[in-house]
């Protein structure tokens, strides 16, 4: 069967790289990039693009009608930090965008749906270290609340309508191709840009704030591996814990100094993102992903640092 894939939110940090990866696997013409914003040169020139707002049901319907996708990836969302600036919009976009897609996937019998969740589903009372798949979850950001509710909807549509919906709880994603999208973990990208441009960076998270992170190459590969896995292996239809590497700003700065010895790190105070970070896990137990679909990250801190510096220098 020829796969026809629609990616909604294709111009964001994940979408930019996922569209390119999917076009390599499934053919350029078979992956339709969709966003409300104008795409960058690579996305526009390597395959079809459509302007789509995931809150506009009629437009979405016409996209399903036109392309009859076998797979849909819904990436359009407001992240943790921007979500706090506009909670109602974050809830509307993150929740109703998902429900629109789940309903259309039933109507058009889409074979598989992918929707990302996040470590933001955990909260202050979740275990901080090696946070398990199943535990207390009391997110206190609108982003985290929408992701946790979205996970429940995904499982519900799977159980009730047999929809093959798959999801991963991404940690902070580190990449150099597209700008990060307004999250709490964005410091781990800004730090590389400023280290190279200015030799110094002012972190909005404090020195000891440890968070789960992952290099984008791993995240994209893991996502496609989950979508390729045999449906019988997927026992979790809410969202899988997913881990790469955990570190603090201080540890990341020390790693960057191995390549840029004069690099200095300072800290800003009273940034609202600190409270968000303090409510999240330090590290994640992803044994279900390892056991069920053979997940294995390739990038540790040293390898991702080398790759970030090499590519940003260009
Ligand atoms: N990187 C995201 C954020 O910080 C977490 O999913 O909001």
Ligand 1 pocket, residue 274 CB under 6 Å: no
253, 190 Cβ separation under 8 angstroms = no
- Positions marked catalytic: 143
Whether the predicted model's global pTM rises above the 0.95 cut = yes
Mean pLDDT is lowest, of 36-45, 248-257, 287-296, for 36-45
pLDDT, tens digit, 9 for 90 and up, residues 176-235: 999 898 999 999 999 999 999 999 999 999 999 999 999 999 999 999 999 999 999 999
Cα 117 to middle of ligand 1, angstroms: 9
Query: Which helix (H) or strand (E) is 50 found in, with range?
Result: strand 49-51
Number of Cβ within a 10 Å radius of residue 24? 12
Tens digits of residue pLDDT in 65-100: 999 999 999 999 999 999 999 999 999 999 999 999
Which atom of ligand 1 is nearest to 79's Cα?
Answer: 7
Res. 265 pLDDT band, cuts 50 70 90: very high
Confidence (pLDDT) at 44: 83
Q: What is the pLDDT of residues 34-62, one digit of tens each?
A: 999 998 878 888 899 999 999 999 999 99
Site to substitute for ligand 1 among 185, 243, 278, most atoms within 8 A of C-beta: 185
Mutation probe of ligand 1 site: the residue of 9, 79, 142, 147 with most atoms within 8 A of C-beta: 79
Q: Which of 85, 93, 94, 118 to mutate to test the pocket of ligand 1 (most atoms within 8 A of CB)?
A: 118
Please report which confidence band the pLDDT of residue 271 belongs to, taking 50, 70 and 90 as the band edges: very high
Whole-angstrom distance, CA of residue 92 vs CA of residue 95? 5
Nearest CA to ligand 1 atom 7: 183
Ligand 1 lined by 184 (C-beta under 6 Å): yes
**Is 172 near ligand 1, meaning CB less than 6 Å away?**
yes
Check pocket membership of 110 for ligand 1, CB cut-off 6 A. no
Only one residue has tokens 């809830």, namely 91
Measured between alpha carbons, how far is residue 13 from residues 77, 129, 255, 305 in Å?
11, 27, 23, 18
11 Cβ closer than 6 Å to some ligand 1 atom: no
Centre of ligand 1 from the C-alpha of residue 308, in Å: 19
Domains of the chain from N-terminus onward: 5-171+214-241 (3.40.50.720), 173-213+245-313 (3.90.25.10)
- Tell me the pLDDT tens digit for each residue of 102-133: 999 999 999 999 999 999 999 999 999 999 99
């Amino acid at each position: 069967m020829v796969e026809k894939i629609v990616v909604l939110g294709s111009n964001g940090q994940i979408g930019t790289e996922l569209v390119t990866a999917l076009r390599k696997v499934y053919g350029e013409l078979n992956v339709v990039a969709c966003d409300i914003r104008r795409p960058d040169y690579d996305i526009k020139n390597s395959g079809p693009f459509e302007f789509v707002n995931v809150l506009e049901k009629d437009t979405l319907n016409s996209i399903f009608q036109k392309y009859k996708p076998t797979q849909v990836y819904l990436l359009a969302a407001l992240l943790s930090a921007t979500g706090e600036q506009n909670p109602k919009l974050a809830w509307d976009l993150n929740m109703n965008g998902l429900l629109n897609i789940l309903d259309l996937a039933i109507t058009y019998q889409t074979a598989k749906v992918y929707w990302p969740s996040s470590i933001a589903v955990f909260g202050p009372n979740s275990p901080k270290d090696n946070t398990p798949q199943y535990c207390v979850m009391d997110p206190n950001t609108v982003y985290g609340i929408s992701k946790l509710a979205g996970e429940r909807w995904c499982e519900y549509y799977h159980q009730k309508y047999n929809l093959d919906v798959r999801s991963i709880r991404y940690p902070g994603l580190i990449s150099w191709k597209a700008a990060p999208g307004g999250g709490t973990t964005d410091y781990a990208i800004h730090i590389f840009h400023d280290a190279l441009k200015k030799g110094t960076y002012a972190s909005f998270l404090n020195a000891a704030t440890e968070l789960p992170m992952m290099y984008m190459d791993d995240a994209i590969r893991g996502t496609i591996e989950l979508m390729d896995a045999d449906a019988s292996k997927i026992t979790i239809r809410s969202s899988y814990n997913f881990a790469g590497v955990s570190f603090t700003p201080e540890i990341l700065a020390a790693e960057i100094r191995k390549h840029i010895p004069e690099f200095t790190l300072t800290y800003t105070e009273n940034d609202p993102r600190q409270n968000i970070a303090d409510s999240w896990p330090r590290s994640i137990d992803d044994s279900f992903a390892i056991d069920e679909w053979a997940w294995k990250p390739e990038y540790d801190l040293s390898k991702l640092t080398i790759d970030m510096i090499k590519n940003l220098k260009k």
